Amino acid sequence: MVANLSEENSSIDYDALIKDDRIHSRLYYDEAIFQHELEQIWYKQWVFIGHDSEVPNRGDFRIGMIGRQPIIICRGDDDKIRVFMNRCRHRGMTLCQLKKGNSGGFVCPYHGWTYKNTGEINKIPLEETYGTQLDRTSVNLIEVARLDSYRGFLFASLSEEGRPLMDNLGLAKDNIDRFCAMSPTGEITLNHGVYRMTIRANWKMWIENSADGYHVMSTHGSNMYLDACLVAKTPKKPVAALACSMSLPPAIWVMATPNLICGQCVAKSA
């Protein structure tokens, strides 16, 4: 689904910025446009945040981001997966600072407020000093407005309104089905680590680059040369083009960019 930003904010003339044959560079550096994208895309639409196999056991957690908002993906002691805003309800301190782990709860490093891994407030230091002013039910961790999954892929939205996930996935559902069909069991497990990159660019640039095959011959020419050499030396053996140039075994992969990208190293033979 593509959000129609032009209908949401008349102060930005997207028709003037986006033409059939070109787009304006302002789309990549204008702070107002970026904030508008955060509000109308990242914080309203469904965003891929992970896979349920990343938290297979009770107490497992992993942190992440939706736009610029930090989140915690956690499987509680009741075996239910929840996604919390990674903020202490007391003063807004980042609650969980570990990338992943297993825990019965979370402890704020600032004032020591503790929460169960199901989100309820557990202990508050010097709680008696609050008297009757503190309502414990009002300080549980905040969950994302909507959470859903398809074949293990987790999607979240910070907006209570919007289309159901299955209506929103569209053709992406077929791609996920094909991706899972690569597995002999029909299911996948993300348990072989993550390759992370920090890209100092507008978020749209990474998606566009991933879909741009025109640059491969020039930018990644050395990889293509290495692949050719390996194929020439072992003409009777199948070679995974991407895998061999990266010294990795053939595998399926998932890219957790703003768009969910699934793929497989494709074997070729001379």
Convert the pLDDT of each residue in 62-107 to its tens digit. Answer: 999 999 999 999 999 999 999 999 999 999 999 999 999 999 999 9
Residues 6 or more apart whose Cβ sits within 8 Å of residue 151: 176, 177, 180, 187
Q: H or E segment at 83?
A: strand 81-85
User: What is the tally of structural domains in the chain?
Assistant: 2
pLDDT digit string (tens) for 200-253? 889 998 888 888 888 887 887 776 665 566 555 555 444 333 333 333 444 445
Instruction: Please report the pLDDT score of residue 7 as a whole number.
Output: 52
Assigned domain for 55 exists = no
Assigned domain for 234 exists = yes
Q: What is the mean pLDDT of the chain?
A: 83
What residues make up the domain containing 36? Answer: 5-42
Instruction: Please report the pLDDT score of residue 254 as a whole number.
Output: 54
63 bridge partner residues: 72
CB atoms within 10 A of CB 121: 20
Q: Where are the alpha helices (DSSP H) in 121-182?
A: 165-169, 172-181
For 129-156, b/e burial (b = at least 16 CB within 10 A) is eeeeeeeeeebbbeebebbeeeebbbbb
Assigned domain for 140 exists = no
Q: How far is CA 10 from the centre of its chain?
A: 30
Assigned domain for 222 exists = yes
Assigned domain for 240 exists = yes
Instruction: Please report the pLDDT score of residue 264 as a whole number.
Output: 45
Give the separation between CA 81 and CA 100, rounded to whole angstroms.
Answer: 14
The answer to whether the beta carbons of residues 88 and 139 sit under 8 Å apart is no
CA distance readout (Å), 217 to 87, 197, 220, 221, 225: 45, 22, 6, 5, 10
120 bridge partner residues: none
Instruction: Please report the pLDDT score of residue 265 as a whole number.
Output: 39
Please give the model's pTM, rounded to 2 decimal places: 0.80
Return the structure tokens found at 110: 């600032």
Assigned domain for 97 exists = no
